[in-house]
Chain A
């Protein structure tokens, strides 16, 4: 079997997150693969619908939950439209896990601040659940999550669950104008809400993922709060095909996002050519 041949996975559950964003729960068809499959938070894979092609997504479920993986996607192109056509029981392909990961064991004993925008919550959600499944190994957990409108918030049931937990500080927000009459969260852009939440940088790291514009304005806020560049992590989502450092399309300078990333610290990103 060459490295481009995927495992087959079966759709076990379909969850609509928003009007155009959906989560698929996928189980390996081969019990032996299901048994040995392992990954780390932050890794990604190549998901495919036979006949439509392959697409790159993070693994949105945490490695602490065995036997399945989850993939959250927005219907945009040929493959994601085909993925949207799939029903429970349908078979698709998955290659992975690929790439580096968040250095979780080395963060034991620290506080973690999660900042996410839009569907950027998918890779962050994997880390959030990983941390919550090992909750006693971490200090404070703060989550700031925003979307353009209330309708664009993903993982709504989980947001509700995190909001109820006494061991999680959750701040949800929508862009001005994106609120509904019964919206109970904040109204404002993510960087402003991070400033309001003002999580302590003492013994803490930040995990940031979202649109480039959100990241751009969030980094200075985190720095003001005392987070240094080596304690801010993000995950890049470049276009990829092979996922294994061959096909050339995810290059940023000499970095292959698929192999050297997708997880980078802000310090590592600052050393890259301004081309992402």
Chain B
């Protein structure tokens, strides 16, 4: 893997260069209430890289909470004209993405691209370069090591920055897109250094996360397949308000709704909006029959979609272990705890 080095001041300088070149720059930044979110930055100083895990994931930059699919306009004689929504193609660079968030974006490429290609998603994917910052491990909700990832995973990143002390980062080039970014701004990068420091940082971070993370999720699949109906889901559901906060903050929850918004008589926009499998309306049939009729069934769907359904269908986990669902849940649902419970049950069953 190609590597190079960049100092904190050059990283700010890179952001400034990009903004000057009219490239959109985004990264962790403070919202008006002080919380850190991924935001578009107007100036390099807005980026705060040492801030833990941003409140929401990176997915909204690729799958916005709401986006127009097309507009319609009714003309004379009942003629209907459909106006395509322009594909989002503004070049953008995300600086300081958490590796778990970048990994989530790559995982979603599978569902967005099988057979039918979701053009708005891929237009944003192609226009965006992701520069991730290796994580030091954040809190006990972190569980990337349980889902086959690590705080320094390169999955989904174009460039991975690893702190090497003295305010500098070793920058590992992951993709051709990452290489193009380095090549476009050569003055901001120095020859590679700090390999040992980077390795020490990565090792410490992995150990920190692994120390509190639940057992690996992969081996739980056979037990989950064999125990579709289990009191576990009812127990878990007692904490669930069905609010969908978990899905909103999740880097990989991608379920959506398609709705029409009339604007004036005869005109309007069809939009795609985020949705969540945690509400009864998500699956209810017109007849009133609902295949996922209670909260236990809906929680089971969310957990199984992450660690059984998506891996079976697309060959990879749909959870990156970011821990946000546990942090956001008003009922105190804790995914690491649920996985630990399943592991205990599976262990007992063997």
Contact = CB atoms under 8 A, between A and B. Distances in A.
Interface of A: 1-6, 8, 29, 48, 50-54, 74, 76-77, 80, 89-91, 93, 211-212, 237-239, 241-242, 244-249, 251-254, 256, 259, 273-276
B286 A238 contact: no
Contact of A52 (B260, B285, B304): B260
Contacts of B312: 253-254
Nearest to A46: B258
21 contacts: A2-B70, A4-B69, A4-B258, A29-B80, A50-B270, A52-B260, A89-B78, A238-B283, A238-B285, A241-B275, A242-B256, A244-B116, A245-B111, A246-B111, A246-B254, A247-B258, A251-B305, A253-B312, A254-B313, A275-B291, A275-B292
Contact of A246 (B85, B87, B118): B118
B277 A248 contact: yes
A91 B258 contact: no
B82 interface: yes
B284 A239 contact: yes
B313 A91 contact: no
A198 B297 CA distance: 39
A241 B257 contact: yes
Contacts of A259: 114-115
Contacts of B114: 245, 259
B285 A237 contact: yes
Interface string B263-294: 00000101010010100001111110101100
B291 A3 contact: no
A3 B286 contact: no
Given A2-B69, A2-B70, A239-B284, A245 B119 contact: no
Given A239-B284, A246-B118, A5 B84 contact: yes
Contact of B301 (A8, A90, A251): A251
Given A2-B69, A274-B228, 19 more contacts: A1-B84, A3-B118, A5-B84, A48-B260, A50-B270, A54-B260, A76-B286, A90-B78, A91-B74, A239-B284, A241-B256, A246-B111, A246-B116, A248-B275, A249-B255, A253-B309, A254-B309, A259-B114, A275-B297
A74 B286 contact: yes
A50 B84 contact: no
Contacts of B283: 238-239, 249
B42 interface: no
A93 B74 CA distance: 13
B230 interface: no
A51 B262 contact: yes
Contacts of A80: 286
B120 A2 contact: yes
Most central of A5, A90, A246 by chain B CB within 10 Å: A246
Given A50-B268, A274-B228, A5 B285 contact: no
A192 B147 CA distance: 51
Contact of A241 (B72, B115, B117, B258): B258
A4 B272 contact: yes
A80 B284 CA distance: 15
B204 interface: no
B69 A251 contact: no
B305 A248 contact: yes
A8 B309 contact: no
Closest 6 CB pairs of A and B: A248-B255, A244-B116, A254-B312, A4-B69, A50-B72, A91-B80
B26 interface: no
Interface in B85-134: 85, 87, 111-112, 114-120
B257 A247 contact: yes
Contacts of A29: 80
A245 B115 contact: yes
A2 B260 contact: no
B259 interface: yes
Contact of A252 (B229, B262, B291): B291
Contacts of A53: 258-260, 270
A198 to B, nearest CB: 30
Nearest to B301: A251
Contacts of B297: 275
A115 B264 CA distance: 46
Contacts of B292: 275
Interface in B301-326: 301, 304-305, 308-310, 312-313
Nearest to B247: A248
A48 B258 CA distance: 11
A275 B268 CA distance: 36
B308 A254 contact: yes
Contact of B69 (A5, A89, A252): A5
B282 to A, nearest CB: 6
Nearest to A75: B286
Contacts of A51: 72, 260, 262, 268
B78 A238 contact: no
A116 to B, nearest CB: 15
